Structure 1
Amino acid sequence: MCICHLPCRNLKPSSSGDQASGRHVAHYHCVVCSVTIARKTDMVSHLKRHVNKGETEASYSGSSDVPFDEPAPSGQAYEIMKELGTNVQLLPNHTTPQKSDTYFNRKMKTNRQLVFCSLAVLAEERNPIECLDAFGATGIMGLQWAKHLRNAVKVTITDISDTCVKMIKENCELNNIRVDGGSRGPRGPDGATSEVEGSPIATVEVAKMDANVTMHLWPFDYIHLDPFGTAVNYLDAAFRNVRNLGIVSVTSTDTSSLYSKSPNVTLRHYGCHIVRTEYYKELAARMVVATVARAAARCNKGIEVLLAVALEHFVLVVVRVLRGPTQADESAKKLRKLLHCQWCEERVFLRQGTMVDDSLPCNCHGSLPGRTAVQLGPLWCGPLFNIVLEGGGVTTQVCKRWSHCWVPSQFSFSCPALMFGLSPAKRKSGDESGNVVKKMKSDASLDHPPFYYSIHRHSIRGMNMPKLNKFLQYLTEAGFRVSRTHFDPTGVRTDATLEQFKSVLTKYSVPTYTNANAAQSSASAETTQ
C-alpha cells in the first residue's frame, strides 16, 4: 500500500522577484507525517524510514473527514491511532514536543500498560477510586482507564494547553465517553454511569488547569505524573492531598540527568551525585525513588515501593503512600550514601555511623595508588519491588496482569515473585475482606540485594563463560540467592560479593584453546578413520 499521494503540480508562490509566480513544481505528499518533498528519490528514502519504524499501519484521514464540528487547525490532517482499544486523533507533528502541544510517543506504550495495571490492582482494593492524569496531552492514558475500568474509576484529565484540552474532549467523543465540565459532583446514581444502549460508556472530567493547582485543590487515590522531562517540580503537590494507601506513579524521561550524562543537572534536580556505572539504570531508579521519598517525608508521609522499571528512555516508579510521621521516618532511614569502587565497580551501601575506610569488600584501595572509592547518592537502599504483601504482592499482581494481557513478544519481564525462590506471604485466617494492606514485619533474610553484576562486564579474557541460565544455577548451588533483572539482560542480581561472583564464574569457565584443541582432535580422528 502506497502511503503517499500521487505527484501533483500546483502553483508555487514566488518568494523573490527573479522567479516566475506561475511556475509549476512537482511535489509529493507523505500521509504519515504530512511533509511535502519535491524530489522523488528523497521521497523514496523518506518512505523507507517510515517503514523501518513501523509507521505504515495506522489509519489516517484528512481534515475534511474528521468526525467533529471543527476542522483541524491550519488545515492540518488528523491521524487516527488505536491503542489498547482506545482511539485518539493526533496532529501531524505529534512526535515533536517542541512543535506540538499534543505530544504522543508510541514507544511509551509499555509505560502506559504498566501504569494501567497498577491502577487496576488498586481498583480491586477500593471502589470507586478517583484517579488523575495530570498531563493529558492527547488524553490516551486517562481514556484507557475510563474505557476499560468503567465505573470502578473516576478519571480526571488535566492539561495547561488549550489545544490539548480541546483534543482530549474530541477524543472522548471519539470513544463514546462523556465529558464532565469540571464539577466534581456525583456522576449519575451513586457516581455511576448508566449502561443504557447508546449512552456514554464512561465519564471523564477534563479541565484546563496546572497540575500543581489540581493536586492542591482536590484529593485523589491515584496520581500519575508524566511531564516532559523530570517530575521533581510536581512531587510536593502530589503528596499533599493523596489519600492514605493511595498510589503515586512517576514517569521520568530526563535520561541525560538520570544516566549521569549531565551531572550538574542531576545535582540540581535530584540532589544526588552519581557517576556512570555498569548498573546505571538501577542507579537512576533508586535516585528517583529517593527524591520521591523526600517529597513524601516533607508531607509527613512514607512510601512503599511497589514497582520500579527502567526501559528504553524512561524510568517508571510506582509507590504506595503511608500516612504518619512514623512512616515518614522509616522511609527517610532508607536514604543512604553508596560507596562505589571506580576500578572494579564493587559497591555497598553505607550504614549510619559507618566509617568510609575499609567498607568495600574489595582490596582495590590497598593494592592501587590513590583513592578508588567514591560516594554516590543519597539513594534509596530499600527494595525496588514488593512481593511480601498478602495476596502475592502488588508487584506480582501487576506483572501477572501485564503478562496475561499485553506483554510484547520482543520483551521479557521476569516476575519479582519468582526471585530468590521466595513464596508470597499468606493471608491471615479470619480476614475475608482482603481490601486492607497488611505489612509484614521486616525480615533481614527477605531483603533483596541491591544492584546487579553484568556477566559480560566481569568476563575473563581467553575463557568461554557458561550460559547465563547455567551460571545462575551454579551460583544457587554455591549457596547464594540469585535472579535475573530487567535492568540488564546480562545482569545477575545476587547477594554474593564481586570476588565470590568472579570465583564461581572462573570455576565454570572453559579456556578457549581447549575447545579448539578438542575440535581439532575430533577432526583428526575422523580423517584417520
Structure 2
Amino acid sequence: MLVDLNGGESMVVPVCFCVCAPAGRKSCPLCPEEKFKACYSHKLRRHLQNLHWKVYVEFEGQRMCICHLPCRHLKNSLSGDQASGRQVAHYHCVVCSVTIARKTDMISHLKRHVNKGETEASYSGSSDVPFEEPAPSGQAYEIMKELGTNVQLLPNYTTPQKSDTYFNRKMKTNRQLVFCSLAVLAEERNPLECLDAFGATGIMGLQWAKHLRNAVKVTITDINETCVKMIKENCQLNHIRVDGGSRSSRGPDGTSNEAEGVPIATVEVAKMDANVIMHLRSFDYIHLDPYGTAVNYLDSAFRNVRNLGIISVTSTDTGSLYAKSPNVTLRHYSCHIVRTEYYKELAARMVVATVARAAARCNKGIEVLLAVALEHFVLVVVRVLRGPTQADESAKRLRQLIHCQWCEERVFLKQGSMVDDNLYNQLPCNCHGSMPGKTAVELGPLWSGPLFNTGFLRGMLFAAVQHSMDDIQTLVKTLICESECTTLKSFVHGPSALTNQVECGVLIKTLQKGEESGTADQSGKRKTGEESGNVVKKLKSDASLEHPAFYYSIHRHSIRGMNMPKLNKFLQYLTEAGFRVSRTHFDPTGVRTDATLEQFKSVLTKYSVPNATTSQTSLSTEKTL
C-alpha cells in the first residue's frame, strides 16, 4: 500500500505499519522483527533513508523501496536439488505485484509495462487488503492451454530463480514425446501406474490423466509447497479430482477436492521428494525431468520400477551435455567428451550409458526405445529388463570411442580386455601416419547399441495422429526412418508395385517379393543403371544389419570450390553405391550411414561439380598458359 513516510512523498510499501512495540517505538515496515527491532521515529527514519530509500525505483510519481520481508525466496542452486531457498531483498512491482530482486531487472520490467500500456498501480493508499493475500487472478496468474489442458502460471514462471514454479514453452515437444511413449505402454498393460516426479505446474501429469483417462493412474509429486498448491488448483481448472496423497485413499468416494460437475479423471498429488516416493512405491512408468541433470534420481528410479516398465529421462543441462563444461560432464556422467560435429548424438549416448550403469547397479538391463537430442533438452526413453543376465548384456554395450581430431572419423573400440599395441589401427583413416603427433582422443564410456526401437516409434506415431499432435508427427517419422536407416522417400512414397502393410495402426509401404527379387542379382547386390566407377561397393554382411552409429555432416565435409548435390540426391547416390543411409534428427545436414568417411567423401566428390568461380579461374589459367 502507499504510505507517507517522508514528508508527503509516497513510498510503495507492501505492508502497513503495525506498531506492536511499546509506546513511542515503531517497527520497520520493510524488515522482519528479528533483523530490525522496534525503535524511536528518528532512528527509524535514519534506517529507512540509509537502507530502503537509497535504492528506490520511481514509477509514475511513486517510489518502490527495497523490501527485506520473507515475501520471496531464492534457490540456493540450479542443480535440480529440491531444497528450500534463502530470503533475499527484492522489489514489489506496483502494476502486477510481482517480486524482482535486482533494480535493473525491475526497471526493465516497468518499461515492458509502459510499452503494453499498463501504468495503473495495483496498490492504493486506501486499500485494506493485507500483503499476504494473493492478487486478483487477472494480475497474478496467466492461463495457458496446451493439448486441451489449462494451467495457470505464476509470474516469472520462465525463470526458476524468481518463481517457485517453472514452465518452459519450448519443452512442448518433449512433453508430447513423453505422452506418446506413455500411450504406447498403456496399450500393453492396463491400468498403468505412472509418476511425474517433478510436477511444477503439473501440466504433464494432467495431460496424461485427461487424455488417457482410466488407462492410467497418475501420481504427481513435488517438494515445493507452492507447486503442490498450484497443481491442485490446475486439477480443479481441468475438472480432475485430486486424491488425498496416500495410496489407500484412491477410490470413488474421495470427492473433497472435486470440481464442479463430474470429474473426468483422478490424479494423486503428493508433497514428497522424488527419491523418497520412488523408494516407497512401484510404478510402471516414471518420468524424470528435474531442472538440469537427472543423475541424482536414477538409482531410486530403477530401484522399484516394475519389470518391462519404462523410464523416461529428460536432461536440460545442455552445457555439460554438449561439451561446453567438460569438468561438469566428468563429474555428473563420469564421461570424457570433446566438441565434435556429432555432439548431439554423443550427448544422447552419454546419457544412455549413465542410465545403463544405474540400471546395472540394481541388476537390471535396458532396451533403448527412443533417444532425442534437440536444442534445449536430451530425452531418453528406456524399457527396464529385470535380471543379472540382462544387466550384463547392457553393460557390454558400454565402450570407449576413438575420435580423430583431424578428419573427425570415429569408431568404437573392439570388445576385449587385452591391450592393443596401436589403437590407431582401429580407425579407418590414415591421419596418424600423415600428421605429426597424436591425432586421436579416447572418449567415453558411451552406449554403443541402437538408439531407437522401430516398432515402439510406430506406436508413438499412431498415438500422435490419434491425439492430433501435429507438431511432432514429422519428427517421429524422421525417427522411424532413422531407426530403419532408410530414406523418407522409400519409406512413404513409391511406385504402384508397393504393397500396403499395417503395423500398429500405421500404414507402411513395402516392396513386393517378386519386384524385390527382380531388382537384385545372384550375388545379392542391388543393380544400378550405371557402374559406380571408383566408388567401392560394400558387400552386405551380417554386421551391416546393425544400426549405424553416428553420422556425417554433408556441409562439414564439402569440397571447396565445388557445388555439392542436394541432400536428398546425395542420399540416393549413397544408396546406389550399396550403403545403408538415412537422414537424422540430430543434424538437418547430417547423413547416417554405414559408410566410412573416406567412402562418404568419394561419393560426394564424384557427384560434386565445379562452381562458376572455379570454372572461370581454370579458363583464365588455360589462356595464360
On whether the aligned pair clears a TM of 0.5, the verdict is yes
The one of 511, 514, 528 equivalent to 2:610 is 511
1:109 matched to 2:109? The reply is no
Aligned partners of 1:11 and 1:25 also within 8 Å: no
Structure 2 partner of 1:471 = 570
Structure 2 partner of 1:371 = 438
Helix, strand or coil: the match of 1:483?
strand
Deviation readout 1:298-344 (Å, 9 max, x if unpaired):
00000000000111210000000000011000000000000000110
Structure 2 partner of 1:398 = 460
Q: What CA distance in whole angstroms lies between the structure 2 residues aligned with 1:489 and 1:465?
A: 16
1:171 matched to 2:234? The reply is yes
Q: Kindly state the Cα deviation for residue 402 of structure 1 after the two structures are TM-superposed.
A: 2.8
Q: Kindly state the Cα deviation for residue 187 of structure 1 after the two structures are TM-superposed.
A: 3.9
Q: Kindly state the Cα deviation for residue 43 of structure 1 after the two structures are TM-superposed.
A: 8.1
Q: What CA distance in whole angstroms lies between the structure 1 residues aligned with 2:115 and 2:359?
A: 45
Deviation readout 1:63-116 (Å, 9 max, x if unpaired):
9xxxxxx95379961111111111111111111111212111111111000000
1:360 matched to 2:427? The reply is yes
Structure 2 partner of 1:500 = 599
Counterparts in 2 of 1:71 and 1:123: CA distance versus 1, 3 Å: farther
Which amino acid in the other structure matches residue 374 of structure 1?
V
Q: What CA distance in whole angstroms lies between the structure 2 residues aligned with 1:465 and 1:322?
A: 46
Aligned partners of 1:37 and 1:43 also within 8 Å: no
Helix, strand or coil: the match of 2:247?
coil
Q: What CA distance in whole angstroms lies between the structure 2 residues aligned with 1:212 and 1:326?
A: 26
Counterparts in 2 of 1:297 and 1:24: CA distance versus 1, 3 Å: closer
Q: Kindly state the Cα deviation for residue 444 of structure 1 after the two structures are TM-superposed.
A: 4.1
Deviation readout 1:210-234 (Å, 9 max, x if unpaired):
0000000000000000001000000
Q: What CA distance in whole angstroms lies between the structure 1 residues aligned with 2:306 and 2:548?
A: 31
Q: Kindly state the Cα deviation for residue 11 of structure 1 after the two structures are TM-superposed.
A: 3.9
Q: Kindly state the Cα deviation for residue 395 of structure 1 after the two structures are TM-superposed.
A: 1.9
Q: What CA distance in whole angstroms lies between the structure 2 residues aligned with 1:210 and 1:406?
A: 32
1:25 matched to 2:60? The reply is yes
Deviation readout 1:183-229 (Å, 9 max, x if unpaired):
213744799xxx99922111111111100000000000000000010
Aligned partners of 1:251 and 1:316 also within 8 Å: yes
Helix, strand or coil: the match of 2:371?
strand
1:147 matched to 2:210? The reply is yes
Q: What CA distance in whole angstroms lies between the structure 2 residues aligned with 1:169 and 1:511?
A: 65
The one of 279, 285, 308 equivalent to 2:348 is 285
Which amino acid in the other structure matches residue 25 of structure 1?
E
Normalised TM-score (structure 2): 0.68
Which deviates the most, 397-406 or 138-147? 397-406
Counterparts in 2 of 1:220 and 1:369: CA distance versus 1, 3 Å: same
Deviation readout 1:381-433 (Å, 9 max, x if unpaired):
0000012xxxxx11222134336622328975543333434999999xxxxxx
Q: What CA distance in whole angstroms lies between the structure 2 residues aligned with 1:474 and 1:512?
A: 20
Structure 2 partner of 1:4 = none
Q: What CA distance in whole angstroms lies between the structure 2 residues aligned with 1:190 and 1:170?
A: 20
The one of 84, 90, 97 equivalent to 2:160 is 97
Deviation readout 1:127-182 (Å, 9 max, x if unpaired):
00000000011111111111111111000011111111111111111111111112
Counterparts in 2 of 1:19 and 1:444: CA distance versus 1, 3 Å: closer
Counterparts in 2 of 1:230 and 1:196: CA distance versus 1, 3 Å: closer
Q: What CA distance in whole angstroms lies between the structure 1 residues aligned with 2:215 and 2:566?
A: 46
Helix, strand or coil: the match of 1:344?
coil
Q: Where in structure 2 are the equivalents of 1:24-63 lying within 5 Å? A: 25=60, 46=112
Helix, strand or coil: the match of 1:318?
strand
User: Where do 5+ consecutive residues of structure 2 fail to align?
Assistant: 1-8, 13-44, 63-92, 117-121, 124-131, 492-499, 504-541, 620-625
Aligned partners of 1:129 and 1:152 also within 8 Å: yes
The one of 247, 268, 293 equivalent to 2:331 is 268
1:446 matched to 2:545? The reply is yes
Structure 1 partner of 2:128 = none
Which amino acid in the other structure matches residue 138 of structure 1?
T
Q: Where in structure 2 are the equivalents of 1:326-341 lying within 5 Å? A: 326-341=389-404
Structure 2 partner of 1:56 = none
Structure 1 partner of 2:559 = 460
Deviation readout 1:238-258 (Å, 9 max, x if unpaired):
001000000000000001110
Which amino acid in the other structure matches residue 455 of structure 1?
I
Aligned partners of 2:173 and 2:472 also within 8 Å: no
Aligned partners of 1:414 and 1:484 also within 8 Å: no
Q: Name the Cα RMSD after superposition.
A: 3.8
Normalised TM-score (structure 1): 0.80
Counterparts in 2 of 1:294 and 1:463: CA distance versus 1, 3 Å: same
1:221 matched to 2:284? The reply is yes
Structure 2 partner of 1:135 = 198
Counterparts in 2 of 1:403 and 1:277: CA distance versus 1, 3 Å: farther
Counterparts in 2 of 1:470 and 1:48: CA distance versus 1, 3 Å: farther
Q: What CA distance in whole angstroms lies between the structure 2 residues aligned with 1:19 and 1:126?
A: 63
Q: What CA distance in whole angstroms lies between the structure 2 residues aligned with 1:301 and 1:72?
A: 48
Equivalent pairs, count? 472
1:380 matched to 2:447? The reply is yes
Structure 1 partner of 2:89 = none
Aligned partners of 1:29 and 1:37 also within 8 Å: no
Helix, strand or coil: the match of 1:230?
coil
Which deviates the most, 146-155 or 396-405? 396-405
Helix, strand or coil: the match of 1:489?
coil
Aligned partners of 1:130 and 1:154 also within 8 Å: yes
Structure 1 partner of 2:264 = 201
Aligned partners of 2:242 and 2:269 also within 8 Å: yes
Which deviates the most, 282-291 or 93-102? 93-102
Deviation readout 1:417-475 (Å, 9 max, x if unpaired):
33434999999xxxxxxxxxxxxxxx744311111000000011000011000000000
Counterparts in 2 of 1:324 and 1:37: CA distance versus 1, 3 Å: closer
Aligned partners of 1:216 and 1:241 also within 8 Å: yes
Q: Kindly state the Cα deviation for residue 48 of structure 1 after the two structures are TM-superposed.
A: 11
Q: What CA distance in whole angstroms lies between the structure 2 residues aligned with 1:258 and 1:197?
A: 46
Counterparts in 2 of 1:338 and 1:169: CA distance versus 1, 3 Å: same
Aligned partners of 2:478 and 2:584 also within 8 Å: no
1:233 matched to 2:268? The reply is no
Q: What CA distance in whole angstroms lies between the structure 1 residues aligned with 2:141 and 2:589?
A: 42
Which amino acid in the other structure matches residue 550 of structure 2?
F
Counterparts in 2 of 1:425 and 1:287: CA distance versus 1, 3 Å: farther
Q: Kindly state the Cα deviation for residue 350 of structure 1 after the two structures are TM-superposed.
A: 0.5
Q: What CA distance in whole angstroms lies between the structure 2 residues aligned with 1:446 and 1:395?
A: 19
Give the structure with higher Rg (CA): 2
Aligned partners of 1:396 and 1:416 also within 8 Å: no
Aligned partners of 1:79 and 1:90 also within 8 Å: yes
Which amino acid in the other structure matches residue 294 of structure 1?
R
Q: What CA distance in whole angstroms lies between the structure 1 residues aligned with 2:160 and 2:544?
A: 46
Helix, strand or coil: the match of 1:296?
helix
Deviation readout 1:467-506 (Å, 9 max, x if unpaired):
0000000000000000000000000000000000000001
Counterparts in 2 of 1:197 and 1:347: CA distance versus 1, 3 Å: same
Which amino acid in the other structure matches residue 608 of structure 2?
S
Structure 2 partner of 1:58 = none
Helix, strand or coil: the match of 2:306?
strand
Aligned partners of 2:368 and 2:451 also within 8 Å: yes
Structure 1 partner of 2:225 = 162
